[in-house]
Every structure is written in C-alpha cells, then in structure tokens.
Structure 1
Amino acid sequence: MSTKSTSIFDFYGKPDFLTALPLSFQHVLAMIVGNITPALIISGTVNALAAKTGIASQGADAATLVQSAMFLAAIATLIQLFPIAIVGSKLPVIMGVSFAYIPTMSAIGSQYGLPGILGAQIVGGVVGIMVGIFIKPLRKYFPPIVAGTVVMSIGLSLYTTAVNYIGGGAGLKATAPELFGAPNQLIVGFATLLTVLFVGQFGKGIVKLSSILIGILVGYAIALPMGMVNFAAIGQKSWFALPALGQFPIEFHPAAIVSMAVIFIVNSIQAVGDLSATTIGGLNREVTDNELRGGIIASNMGSIIGAFFGGLPVATYSQNVGIVSTTKVVSRVVFMFAAIFVLIAGFIPKFGALMTTIPQSVIGGATIGVFAIITMSGVRLITQQEMTTRNTTIVGLALALGMGITAVPQFLANYPQWVSMVFGSSPVVIATIVAFTLNIILPKKSLVDEQKERDEIEAKREAKAAGK
C-alpha cells in the first residue's frame, strides 16, 4: 500500500483535485439518470394508487423520492469506499438505486403503495445481509464460470437499455412512439458514441481517460441547438432541501415481503458478478471473500437505511463498473468526489435537475460501449477455466434460457404475477440460477478427461470392428 501515491491507478492514490474532477464527473453522469429514473417510475405507480383509494399516505412526491435517491446513492457509495467494521467492500464502486427491483416494487406499489414497498425493502435488506455474512462458504458455488456468466448476462441485458436510450428513452417510446428513433435522436446518440470511441482510442493522458465525459459534452452541445434540452425542470426546483427522514409511513405485508426477499437474494448473489468485474477489470485480480462480504452487506444496509428516507433499494452500478474496466482508474479519491457531487445533489434539487437535462440519447451513446466492456469482462472470467463441454454447456444454456425467456413475456403469462416478476423481468436472474444449478449437478471434467473418454470410445469401436 502506498499512502503517498498520487496515481489514479492506485486505490490508495491521492491525485490532485483537477485531475480527479473530470474522472469523478463522468461517473456521476453515467449513473445519475439511472439513479433517479426508478424513483420517477415508482412515484407514478404509488400516486395512481393514492388517487384511486384516496389515501394520500400511499403516494409520494416524485421530487422527494429523487432527492432521496441522490442522498442514498452517495451514502451507500461512501460506505463501500470507507468501510465500517465488516460493512463495506473497500472497492472502487458507485452505488445507486437499482432498476432490477422495479418490476417487484411496481407490483407491490400498485397494491400496497409506498409504505408496503418500504416495509418489504427493510426485510429484504435483512435477508440480503444474511447472504453477505455467509458468502464465504457460498462462494465455492460461484467459480469463474458461474460469476463470469452472471457478469456476461448483466452486460447483455443492458444492451436494450442503451439502444432504448439512443432512440430517445423508453418513456418517449411509450408516450410518443412516432418520435422514438427519430433522426435527431440517432444523430445525437451516435455522435456521442463515435466521440467516446475516437477519444478513447486516439486520445492521450487525462483526455483519453475522460472519453465518456467528453462524449457526453459533445452530444449535449449537438442536442442543444436541436431543441432536445429542456431546462424547465430547473426552475421548478428549490435550491436547498433536507432528505426526507421519517416522512413516509412503513407497512409490512407478507406477500410483498416474500416477493421482495427473493429479489434481494438474487441481487445479493448478482453483486458477486459486479464486484468480480470491478477487481478483474480495474485491479487485475479476483475479488476476495472479505470484499464480497463487506460489499454485499453494505449494499443491503444501504437499502435498509434508505427505506427510512423514502429511498429505494440500491446496488452496484454496472455502467460504472464498465468505466473502471475501460479506464483502469481506481483511486478512491476519484470515487469519493463522485459521491460528494451526488450528495450535494441530494441537498440541492436544482443540481440534480440540471443533470436530468442531458438527453437520453446522449446517455445511451455514451454507455453502450461501457456495457460491451462489462460483457467482455464476463468473457474474461469465463475463460479463466477450461472451455470443456461441461463449462460451455453451463454458459450457453444459462444465457440461452435467461435471454430467451425474458424476451418472450407471454412465456410466464399463465403463472402468478410474482413468478413473472421474479423470473421474467431480468435475464440475469434466470442465468444466475441456471449457471449455479448446473455447476453443482454436472460432473466436473477437464479437457484431458474428455479427450480420454473419446479415446476410450474410439478404442472400443476399433476393437469391435477388429473382432468382426
């Protein structure tokens, strides 16, 4: 450990502010839209229930949930960077509200409102912490072939998100499908992508490392005269507001708790993939048992704390893991500044509103390459083990079922809604379960063993032929 290092490629390195600033800001830009979007979606769901039932406490102000999301993401990130006892991974990760929970939260919110979501979130967080505590004995069931499959499925599952963003966003596709994928959206999205690609391949020094930030700035500059940037939301926000501690009631409903607990278990296991991708891509080593335990506990602890602020469940952000893999920048100072920026946004709503003026096509163009890097990080993990028939079966079948089933929503339409929410909302869930199960039940064989089997078969065939 070098406490005097100023290197951005050293976790304990302390680069100067001007060096760390652009590198921190690109992490903020990569996560901010994803961090606030779940809050906007869930606020719409619970407010619809509140309007229907006339029970105001079931709903929530969208701006307040967004503010809570920013505050919680910052706190959760800082806990990961600066662990307290066994809580925290001490790895260069960015935390934020997770999209993975949206289907389950939407189902709970449409029936029990925000109080039901928050109650189920607290219990789910406790279940997730238990997974983290026992991750060391569980880890043997997640060798590189399984962890790599999970990481690869994360990257593959994010491609549609990036393409939706380039086209203008899923919201635009739903409300104004005739504008989705319009020439202006594609021009801005692909201009951003090409800028990131060009700067990343031909840039030097800090310019090269800030390729994603530069791409976003170029895309924003192109979008501005095209009328794609709307500043109205900034004027509607106040300059300062405290996080909403204790403003929302909390209720516990068994059905909501069970469905949420399942998602927390799956996402706690999925964290193995993100944390593995971080160490493989940024630190050139595998993640340790203590890092996994601390990271998973911190993530779930953050979700529990967040429930008291109206903050939704958090997880490590795969797009930021991708940035780490791309740039190799792992200095804790860089991530600390990013967390501070997000924390400021949690107290100054206008700051967060300014970030949301970035067109979604710009975000999509800037992140699709990042998602590709995540996929390849999974490939790197997978290829640490021999590509035997057994291992290729595990990877291929897990990805085939994961991607295939989620691509056909009708596949689970005749089953209870919770089945569709758990198994049909994300290919990562099914891919994880299939890879985990097959790795346990399929007999372990090396390439040498498989060649020996083929030789024995050939010898028996030749002996039989000679006997005739």
Structure 2
Amino acid sequence: MEIKNRSALFDFDGKVKLKEIIPLGLQHVVAMIVGCVAPAIIVASMANLNLQDKIILVQSSLVFSGVATVIQIFPLFNKIGSRLPIVMGASFAYIPILSSIAEEFNVATIFGAQMIGGGVAIIFGIFSRKIAKLFPEVVTGTVIFSIGLSLYSTAINYMAGGTGNESFGSPKNWLIAMITLSIVIFLNFFTKGKFKLASILIAICIGYIIALFAGIVSFEGLNTATWFHMPKVLYFGLEFNATAIVSMVIMYIVNSVQAIGDISATTGGAMDRIPTEDEISGVIMGNGFSSIIGALFGCVPTATYSQNVGIVTMNKVINKGVFLLASIIIIISGLIPKISSILVSIPQCVLGGATIYVFATITMTGIRMICNSGLSTRNIAIVGLAIALGTGIAQVNGALGLFPEWVISIFGGSSIIVTTLVAILLNLVLPKDEIGK
C-alpha cells in the first residue's frame, strides 16, 4: 500500500488517516493475538476451570491486555506508562509459576498474588535505576533461559493432547501437532513479510482446520456463548497465600527487567536513542498498575511483547494511532464471548505444536543474552550453577521433602525461583576480575 503521509507514521504524535493505520494495526494484532490467548487457556486447563469460566478468563485477558497497552500509550498522571509504541499482552513467562499456584491452590490465589506482584512492580519502577543493577545481562539471560526450559513440559503435554484427554498421547494428536509446528518452521524460514510475521497465527488456523476434519474440535462453548459480555469485578475472587505471593513477586521483578530490554530495543531500533529514566520507570509502573486492575477482573499477568517490538524495530512505525487501533481491536475481541469461545475451542495439540516454537525462542533469547555478556569463567559459573540447582530441584520429587511446607511451595514448585536467586547471589559475590581464566 502506498502511504502518502509516511513521515507522520514515524512520529509518535503524527496525524495520520485511519486507512493508513488499519493494516499496520492489524499486523500488531496478528503478531500478539495467539500469545495473548494461549497463556489464559493453559492456566484455565491447569486450574481445571469449566468451559464457561475458561471463556471468561480468555475474555478478561484480551480486554485488559488491550487496556494495558492503552495505558502505555497514554500514561496515567504522566507517570504510569511509558508513552512509547509498546504492546502489552498476557505473558508466557509466568506460566510455570501460574501452573504451580493453580495446581496447589486455585485461580483466586493466582490473582491475589498477582495483585501484590503488581504493587511490587510499581515500587520497582519507582526505584528502577537502583534495583536494576541486580539484574545485569548474564542474570537476566539466565532467568529467561530457565523460563524457556520450564515451558517445554507444558508444550509437550499439549502436543500429546493435554492431560485428562482420553486421546492423550495418540498418534492423531502428535501428527496434528507436528504438522502445525512444521508450518510455523516453513513460514519462518521460507517466507517473508506478513506470512513470516503471522506464522504462529497461520499455523494455528491450518492446524485448526485439520483438527476440525479429524473430529477433535468441540463447539460446545460457541453454542452457549452470548454476543456481548462485560468482565465482572472479582469474578474469580482473590485469595492471598504467602508462598504464592513470594513466587509471583520474584517473577514480576524478573519481568520488569525484561521490560527494560524491550523498550531499549524499541527506542534504539526505531527512534535511534536509549530510553529515558522516566520511560523505564513508566513502563514498569504501567505494567504493575495494569496487573492490579487485571487481577480484579481476571486477566493473567501481562508483559511487554517482544514479537511486537520486533515489528517496530523492523518497520520503524511508532505512531500512537497504530497501537491504539490494535488495542481497541483486542478489547473488542474480548468483549464478544463468541470470539473467545472459538479461541478456546482450539485443540490442545494444535496449540502445543505452535507454542513450542515460541518457547524455544524464549530459551534461545536467554542464551543470546548470556553470550552477549561473555562466556567468562565467572559467567559460566553463574549460569551453570543457577540452572543446575533450579532445574535439578524442580525435577527431583521430594528433594526438599523434609523442609517446611512453605519452603517446598516456593522453591520446589518452579525452577525459575531458585535459578533467579542463585544467579543474583553469585553475581553479587563472585569477583568481577577473574584470577586466571
């Protein structure tokens, strides 16, 4: 499409026409819609929610991901939000923690912990300049690497059909999952432009059609879903548990550091500058505030979306109208239960085939950050020991069996918590200047 007013698209406050921003806004929606829906579906399954509650969880996650994006574009009180071209959405990074909480407690406990985590994120945003020093690239990369590794079991579970499914582990589920994954790989490496950007969405659509012909798609929710539904305050409730709160707080701090990386990539790639302290503080506080509001209405934790950052750095389009339009489309999608019920009907094998690529990308992002920090003896020790202890304790049932229950809940349920704490501690105590390499 020929755009006459191109300069305005590269200006955050530029005046552009609707017809100019529609395709650009839709591109961002396509890039984030699957990532926004999948975490909610996975958490709903882990929590054994009924179909109606599953749809409501997806609805809320769509609506308040859109709201979180709007807050970033138009900061509250000129403080809460970054005023940058940032897209927010439900985050895959939280899935291991959310799954652990859902299995041990319930969804209400997730949202209680999320509310406290959001508050801590706001505090982190206020003091971001000082606290961020605890998370250099080697520590952040190690944590992200750990997050990716911990997600693999979730993806494989889904590729096999999902726990509790009568056909779990069947050749049919694996065939559909592998076809979906193959399409993602093909589109990413043998196509360009919109096909590459929308590879996950296209693969899920094709996998969905195959699953439909295979007879494993249920439209039970679509038949009963209404055309319009407003999210309800405290529909899932709030419960507060100390162990769940500690786990969530650590994840919010880690996520805040990742947000700094995302906005640094945005301003550096599309605006040729580094982010200001106010922008860094604003993006973190904006996500914290959005998380608190989301917890009240049933939206799982949100984060900055790196895939959308990639689009911004590629096309350099930063006009706020593009991102406002994308957020409005996401919000509208969440307000229409018919749309949410269709998304919920996606078979788990299809979802697993598509998301394992995303999880692999998360893992390699962590490895890339570790490599960027240098593979010195010191860094190898930090990464190796943090991953070894975090992953090892989580994999061995009963490894902390004689510890108090709260210790087991915090440190035994997810590898991420142990990995994060060990990486931070080693980074603080190991000498910066190596004696012999």
Could you say which TM-score interval applies, normalised by the shorter chain?
0.7 to 0.9
Corresponding residue number in structure 2 for 1:263: 247
Find the partner of 1:75 among 67, 77, 92: 67
CA distance in 2, matches of 1:363, 1:337: 26
- What is the Cα deviation at residue 231 of structure 1? 1.3
Q: 1:343-373: CA deviations, max 9, x gaps?
A: 1233211110011122222222222222222
Rate the CA distance shift 1:328–1:420 in 2: closer, same or farther, 3 A: farther
Is the contact made by 1:94 and 1:335 (CA closer than 8 Å) also made in structure 2?
no
- Residue type at the aligned position of 2:243: S
TM-score relative to the length of structure 1: 0.77
- What is the Cα deviation at residue 131 of structure 1? 2.5
- What is the Cα deviation at residue 88 of structure 1? 2.5
Corresponding residue number in structure 2 for 1:450: 436
Rate the CA distance shift 1:203–1:321 in 2: closer, same or farther, 3 A: same
- What is the Cα deviation at residue 39 of structure 1? 4.4
Is the contact made by 1:92 and 1:331 (CA closer than 8 Å) also made in structure 2?
no
Q: Look up the SS of the partner of 1:411 in the other structure.
A: coil
Is the contact made by 1:126 and 1:300 (CA closer than 8 Å) also made in structure 2?
yes
- Mapped pair 1:293 → 2:281: yes
Corresponding residue number in structure 1 for 2:123: 130
- What is the Cα deviation at residue 239 of structure 1? 1.0
- Mapped pair 1:275 → 2:259: yes
Find the partner of 1:174 among 160, 164, 177: 164
Rate the CA distance shift 1:32–1:336 in 2: closer, same or farther, 3 A: farther
- Residue type at the aligned position of 2:148: G
Corresponding residue number in structure 2 for 1:465: none
- Residue type at the aligned position of 2:301: V
Structure 1 range deviating more: 422-431 or 224-233: 422-431
- What is the Cα deviation at residue 323 of structure 1? 6.7
Rate the CA distance shift 1:104–1:246 in 2: closer, same or farther, 3 A: closer
Provide the identity percentage.
37
Rate the CA distance shift 1:228–1:403 in 2: closer, same or farther, 3 A: same
Rate the CA distance shift 1:239–1:376 in 2: closer, same or farther, 3 A: same
Q: Look up the SS of the partner of 1:92 in the other structure.
A: coil
Find the partner of 1:21 among 23, 26, 49: 26
Task: Pick the structure with greater CA Rg.
Answer: 1
Corresponding residue number in structure 2 for 1:228: 216
CA distance in 1, matches of 2:187, 2:235: 46
Corresponding residue number in structure 2 for 1:454: none
Is the contact made by 1:220 and 1:359 (CA closer than 8 Å) also made in structure 2?
yes
- Residue type at the aligned position of 2:101: T
Rate the CA distance shift 1:261–1:246 in 2: closer, same or farther, 3 A: closer
Q: 1:249-280: CA deviations, max 9, x gaps?
A: 667x6xx2x33431232012211453255357
CA distance in 2, matches of 1:326, 1:197: 19
- What is the Cα deviation at residue 432 of structure 1? 1.0
CA distance in 2, matches of 1:403, 1:286: 35
Rate the CA distance shift 1:331–1:360 in 2: closer, same or farther, 3 A: farther
- Mapped pair 1:315 → 2:302: yes
- What is the Cα deviation at residue 246 of structure 1? 5.8
Alignment of 1:300-449 (within 5 A): 300-309=288-297, 311-316=298-303, 320-321=305-306, 324=309, 336-445=324-433
Is the contact made by 2:180 and 2:206 (CA closer than 8 Å) also made in structure 1?
yes
Find the partner of 2:135 among 138, 142, 147: 142
Is the contact made by 1:122 and 1:303 (CA closer than 8 Å) also made in structure 2?
yes
Q: 1:403-445: CA deviations, max 9, x gaps?
A: 2111123212333333233222222211111110000001112
Is the contact made by 1:87 and 1:297 (CA closer than 8 Å) also made in structure 2?
yes
Alignment of 1:241-252 (within 5 A): 241-245=229-233
Find the partner of 1:157 among 138, 150, 160: 150
Is the contact made by 1:323 and 1:370 (CA closer than 8 Å) also made in structure 2?
no
Greater RCO, CA 8 A, separation 6+? 2
- What is the Cα deviation at residue 41 of structure 1? 4.6
CA distance in 2, matches of 1:44, 1:270: 28
- Aligned residue pair count: 416
Is the contact made by 2:28 and 2:308 (CA closer than 8 Å) also made in structure 1?
no
CA distance in 2, matches of 1:220, 1:62: 19
Is the contact made by 1:155 and 1:371 (CA closer than 8 Å) also made in structure 2?
yes
- Mapped pair 1:193 → 2:185: no
User: Unaligned stretches of 5+ in structure 1?
Assistant: 46-59, 452-468
Corresponding residue number in structure 2 for 1:101: 98
CA distance in 1, matches of 2:145, 2:274: 16
- Mapped pair 1:35 → 2:40: yes
CA distance in 1, matches of 2:201, 2:313: 15
User: Unaligned stretches of 5+ in structure 2?
Assistant: none
CA distance in 1, matches of 2:99, 2:238: 18
CA distance in 1, matches of 2:264, 2:282: 18
- Residue type at the aligned position of 2:98: Y
- What is the Cα deviation at residue 43 of structure 1? 7.0
Q: 1:168-204: CA deviations, max 9, x gaps?
A: 22xxx2353xx22211111111111111111211113
